[in-house]
Chain A
């Protein structure tokens, strides 16, 4: 069974610091990788996706992918209290795969 592992947290960082969220996955054939943010009581919303090895930046967010190590991470620079949420890593399977497999999420708390 395909697995996606995340530290459950909570991860606490002071306002303005960098938050680093990590995710590992078991299916070496996985091709697409997503980070979702979920506020309490709300549904997940996409922050970023990444397909290729390396870094991808979007504003304060940077996704990093290392397929050889089966590792994907999300960095949040200049963390704000509004970033406090649960962050879900999601991974697709190989070519032609329809499913997204989610990690259990890391709860992030940004302390003012």
Chain B
């Protein structure tokens, strides 16, 4: 059974904190993605990675960075959390060749 696992289901952080969201996949997929999902705005791509140590900006990268040191792990970093980063964060992974993306269970982050 394929799996994408996000480290936390719910997270509450204070403004200005550095926040790490971790994602691990067990499918040996090359491509991994971080999205945020907000009511009325749908899924918006923050960053994606198509190989170890490779990353590309998505549509809304400002205020975020990412790290991919190992193929199975893709981390999203909020350098200095702000209240407008309160959202549902979804990690996904995808193989090559037009295959589907598999999602983690999501992390609901609240910044207070």
Interfacial residues, chain A to chain B (CB-CB below 8 A): 1, 8, 31-32, 34, 42-46, 49, 51, 88, 90, 92, 98-105
Residue of A nearest to B108 (CB): A41
The B41-72 residues at the A interface (CB cut-off 8 A) are: 41-43, 45, 48, 50, 58-59
Closest CB-CB distance, B23 to chain A, in whole Å?
12
Other contacts beyond A42-B105, A43-B104, A46-B102: 5, CB < 8 A = A43-B105, A44-B103, A46-B100, A98-B50, A104-B41
Question: Which of B40, B50, B103 contacts A104 (CB under 8 A)?
Answer: B40
Tell whether, in the assembled complex, residue B100 and residue A49 are in contact, meaning their CB atoms are under 8 Å apart.
yes
Residue of A nearest to B101 (CB): A100
B contact residues, range? 20 to 34
| Given the contacts A43-B90, A44-B103, A99-B48, A104 and B42 also touching, CB distance less than 8 Å | yes
* A1: B residues at CB distance < 8 A: 59
- Where chain B touches its partner, the secondary structure class is strand
Contact with A along B23-42 (1 / 0, CB 8 A): 00000000101010000111
Interfacial residues, chain B to chain A (CB-CB below 8 A): 31, 33, 35, 40-43, 45, 48, 50, 58-59, 90, 92, 94, 98, 100-106
* A8: B residues at CB distance < 8 A: 40
* B101: A residues at CB distance < 8 A: 34, 46, 90, 100
* A103: B residues at CB distance < 8 A: 42
Give me 19 A-to-B residue pairs in the complex whose CB atoms sit less than 8 angstroms apart, sorted by A's number. Answer: A31-B98, A34-B100, A43-B90, A45-B103, A46-B101, A46-B102, A98-B48, A99-B48, A99-B58, A100-B33, A100-B92, A100-B94, A100-B101, A101-B45, A102-B43, A103-B42, A104-B40, A104-B41, A104-B42
* B92: A residues at CB distance < 8 A: 100
In the bound complex, how far is the Cα of B106 from the Cα of A101, in angstroms?
18
For the complex of A and B, the 9 pairs showing the least CB-CB separation, nearest first, are: A104-B42, A43-B103, A102-B43, A32-B98, A46-B100, A98-B31, A43-B106, A98-B50, A100-B101
